[in-house]
Structure 1
Amino acid sequence: MPLDRSSAGDPARSLELLWRVPADAPRRGPHQRLNVDTVVAVSIGLADVDGLDAVTMRRVAQRLGVVPMTLYTYVPGKAELLDLMLDTAYVQMSRADTAGQPWRVRLTAVAEENKALFEAHPWAATISTSRPPLGPGMMAKYEHELQALDELGLDDIEMDAALAFLLTFVQANARSAAEARAAQQDSVMDDEQWWAANAHLLEKVFDPRAYPTAARVGTAAGAAHGAAYSPEHAWEFGLSRVLDGLAARIDHRTDSTETGPR
């Protein structure tokens, strides 16, 4: 299955569009009733409701009441459109002012801001950003999030890696949560109802004596969550462990700075 990724189009054209660099020469012909922002907004609306596969030049054109070729006046293709959609979502993110707060509070805010982004735009969690769209939204997001890690004794490479570590967890959790919601919608049952309806089938083939640890742990987790997987518990447990891991590195750096070379 092809992976949607940012920066997969023409880099020069994407950067021009992301930063809204004016064209070298004015367009001739009738007054343009659309603009890039309108095209992007409609595309995001489609993706939010029907997923990223629904965002085609034809579907977007239909929503805008124009022929597909008209869209190419504004955006050269879906790859560049995807960069614009993602960067626009970044621009619109809520960003808390946590200056002066403890670093765990600052990083928790960063995590929750990204969680909110993926809840509002589930398609954003499915995109690979190993080559991020270097637009104003991305740069503002990166600057804001790095400030939560500044002056903690980490060097620049460690700051970047620590942020990537945190955001990778948030994105993975968002994907799992979206899959859980999709499973519930497809089956028209919540997880507790699904297990109640199908437990007798598992009992016919599963021998708890052959898998005693799995039986014990699975039963305990299922009873606690009412399901085999709880996105909420995974979020709370995972975020705490991510912060604990970063604390070990930050504390080590702080201790090294305070003691100095021996």
Structure 2
Amino acid sequence: MTRQSIVDAALAILREEGLDKVTMRRVATALDTGHASLYVYVRNTEDLHAQILDALLGEVSPSAGGTGTWRDRLKALLRSYQSVLFRYPEIARMALSTQPAGPNYMALVEALLALLNEGGVSDRAAAWGVDLLLLQPTAVAVEHSTPRPSDDLSALAALIATADAVRYPHIVRLGVELISGDGAARSDWAFDVLLDGILAAGSHAPNE
């Protein structure tokens, strides 16, 4: 038995049965051993989940951005990260509360920091900005992990169309814009807003 064999077994259970079935006892059963023996390699279920998340991050290529400006490559890397979470919605929800720990997470952060450095972002702003950059696609993936009615947007459009212009003047005025753009366009815009903010914050980031 190795730490990797435990993670591999956990990944198989995740893909076949879902994250809620990934417990120490269930993994031990899959490996035909007692669950107590797993604690030699994995501290607890939270640690196991963190290792699962890191293993899945192996699907994110640090070179996913290919060519283009540093900003284009950074956004492509974030989109690659987001696509992994979209494929595993339970992992997306877990990623909000579980800190990844492993070489794949380190490779992702290293690639983001390198691109921010290439773009002229200050060290403090880059170090703090990584959390924001990873949080945005994670939150979007979590939002999309819960199935919603197909007419959800049309219901919102109808609500805006019938809104009281006196009580909600700004909603009525911006009604079309509020529901405009697809997911890709909005994500790209959000990344640009974050990057612009990180670049601007670099000029007055606190030292302590």
Using the size of structure 2 for normalisation, the TM-score is 0.72
Partner of residue 164, structure 2:
208
2:44 pairs, out of 63, 66, 77, with 77
Mapped partners of 1:145, 1:91: distance in 2: 15
Mapped partners of 2:185, 2:13: distance in 1: 30
Mapped partners of 2:189, 2:121: distance in 1: 24
1:183-202 matches, within 5 Å, as 183=148, 189-191=149-151, 195=155
Partner of residue 15, structure 1:
none
Partner of residue 141, structure 2:
174
**Pair 1:234 & 2:186 matched:** yes
**Pair 1:89 & 2:45 matched:** no
Query: What secondary structure does 1:127 align onto?
Result: helix
Measure how far apart 1:215 and its partner are.
4.9
1:1-262 matches, within 5 Å, as 34-48=1-15, 50-72=17-39, 74-96=41-63, 101-127=68-94, 132-179=99-146, 182-183=147-148, 189-191=149-151, 195=155, 208=164, 210-215=167-172, 217-218=174-175, 221=178, 224=180, 231-248=183-200
Query: What secondary structure does 1:160 align onto?
Result: helix
Mapped partners of 1:100, 1:61: distance in 2: 44
Partner of residue 26, structure 1:
none
Query: What secondary structure does 1:95 align onto?
Result: coil
**Contact 1:57/1:71 (8 A) holds in 2:** yes
| Cα displacement string for residues 37-62 of structure 1 (whole angstroms, at most 9, x for unaligned residues) | 23212322433455432221233234
User: What value does the CA root-mean-square deviation take over the aligned residues?
Assistant: 3.7
Structure 1, 161-170 or 212-221: larger mean CA deviation: 212-221
Mapped partners of 2:38, 2:97: distance in 1: 27
Measure how far apart 1:141 and its partner are.
2.1
Gapped regions of structure 1 (runs ≥ 5)? 1-33, 184-188, 254-262
Measure how far apart 1:168 and its partner are.
1.8
- Amino-acid identity (%): 27
Measure how far apart 1:102 and its partner are.
1.7
Larger radius of gyration: 1
- In structure 2, the CA distance between the partners of 1:69 and 1:107, relative to structure 1 (3 Å rule), is same
Give the AA of the match of 1:238.
Answer: A
Measure how far apart 1:212 and its partner are.
4.6
Equivalent pairs, count: 201
**Contact 2:3/2:41 (8 A) holds in 1:** yes
**Contact 1:173/1:231 (8 A) holds in 2:** no
Gapped regions of structure 2 (runs ≥ 5)? none
